[in-house]
Amino acid sequence: MKKSISILVLLNLVLLMTTGCTESRYKSEKIAIIFSSVGLGDKSYNDLCYEGVLRAQDELGIEFDYSEPKSPKEYENVIREYAESEEYVLIIAVESEQVDGVAKVSKDFPKQKFMISDSRATLPNVVSIYEKWTEQVFLNGTIAGLSMLSDVNNNSKEDVAGVILGIESSQLREAAVAFESGVKYVNPDAKVISAVVNDFAAHSKAKEIALLLYSRGAIFIQHLAGSAGLGVFAAANEADKYAFGVDGNQNFYDSDHIVATARRDINNILYEEIKDMKSGNWNPGVHEYAMKENVLQEAREGSSVELSDQIVQRVETIRNKTINKEIIIPLTASELEEWKINR
């Protein structure tokens, strides 16, 4: 009889310990986030993602650890170390350049939840956040194209705009094509020139490239260059020309020369995704966000660059057509050429 009681007591203790561990883990859910190699302080995408997890910490009670790899070569190892620790309910990788690392590690840890931003990867235990930011970049292009038709360009022989990429990637190239499409949607004879910095953090190099594009006739430049975009803004100021920002609202950096920002509220997107996961609504796959979700837009707040009422009204009309899919934005050079012929 004593033996039976002892066994029952032991079983109850085990159950209590198991329940306690489960409750403890739930109360202190822990997330890991791996930023891109540009790191925090980029005043762009990484900083926005950091804002999102900070908000989740404050409002949802999650804990988080983060890493700032110095090179893309480190991504896979950092992701793997987090997965091997088995400490994290979710591992978040920032930017599409981490997709190979996520693909490899997620395959080795099928029960671990992963998330990657700015990606369309389809993997069984991964949420891929795809921001359809080509839409607001397209609208920035229409602003540039319409402005060059007005008196802002009255001293130029040719309407020229530029776009500068941080690195050569499919996502950035799609956005570059979208900007060019926006310019040519309203100003078919305009010319769009592009360049690649090959480094998201190279401010001086980006400034040098931007000054070169301005010297070749560009009036407006859309940067898609992360932190290096600050160099584009410096060039716009020096050349007294115009630029467009990206990600967080960058108009405040130089309100006299930054016309608008192709804003991506990845901070709010990440927060909502973490909230869904915490609520038990975990749905792997591609989660697409566009202007209709009101987390992507071309932001004018903070810019002192004047646009005529006619331009503002025309851009608003184009925005509505884009949201309603009356305008299908080209994403490749070949699609753009076909679109120019058939639209």
Tell whether the model's pLDDT for residue 79 goes beyond 90: yes
- What percentage of the chain reaches a pLDDT higher than 70? 90
Closest CA to 343 of 333, 1, 273, 330: 330
The number of helix segments (H) and strand segments (E) in the chain equals: 11, 12
CATH number 3.40.50.2300 given to 134-264+308-342: yes
Closest CA to 123 of 284, 281, 288: 284
Tell whether the model's pLDDT for residue 95 goes beyond 60: yes
Contact at 8 Å (CB) between 79 and 98? yes
Contact at 8 Å (CB) between 223 and 167? no
What pLDDT shows up at residue 284?
Answer: 95
What pLDDT shows up at residue 152?
Answer: 52
What's the whole-model pTM score? 0.83
Top pLDDT among 11 and 253 is at: 253
Highest mean pLDDT among 119-123, 214-218, 286-290: 214-218
- Strand 296-299 to strand 258-264: parallel, antiparallel, or no bridges (unpaired)? antiparallel
Owner of token pair 């190279």? 202
Q: Which amino acid is at 115?
A: M
> Domain limits of the chain?
27-131+267-292, 134-264+308-342
Where would I find the beta strands (DSSP E) of the chain?
30-34, 63-67, 90-93, 114-117, 126-131, 160-165, 191-196, 218-224, 242-247, 258-264, 285-289, 296-299
User: What rounded mean pLDDT belongs to the chain?
Assistant: 88
Owner of token pair 């915490």? 278
Confidence of residue 263 (pLDDT cuts 50, 70, 90): confident
Contacts 24+ apart (CB under 8 A), 314-317: 314/142, 314/146, 314/186, 315/139, 315/142, 315/143, 315/146
For the domain covering 27-131+267-292, report its CATH number: 3.40.50.2300
Question: Rounded to whole angstroms, how far apart are CA atoms 167 and 277?
Answer: 32
What pLDDT shows up at residue 16?
Answer: 45
Mean pLDDT of 54-73: 95
80 three-class SS: helix
> Treating both helix axes as pointing N-terminal to C-terminal, what angle do 266-278 and 45-60 enclose, rounded to 10 degrees?
40
> Treating both helix axes as pointing N-terminal to C-terminal, what angle do 134-149 and 309-323 enclose, rounded to 10 degrees?
150
Tell whether the model's pLDDT for residue 6 goes beyond 80: no
Tokens of 191: 């010319």
- Strand 126-131 to strand 296-299: parallel, antiparallel, or no bridges (unpaired)? unpaired
27-131+267-292 against 134-264+308-342: fold identical: yes
What pLDDT shows up at residue 340?
Answer: 77
Per-residue HEC secondary structure of 11-36 comes to HHHHHHHHHHHHHHHHHCCEEEEECC
pLDDT in tens, 135-180: 999 999 999 999 998 865 446 678 999 999 999 988 899 999 999 9
Confidence of residue 105 (pLDDT cuts 50, 70, 90): very high
Q: Whats the size of the chain, residue-wise?
A: 343
First to last CA, the chain: 88
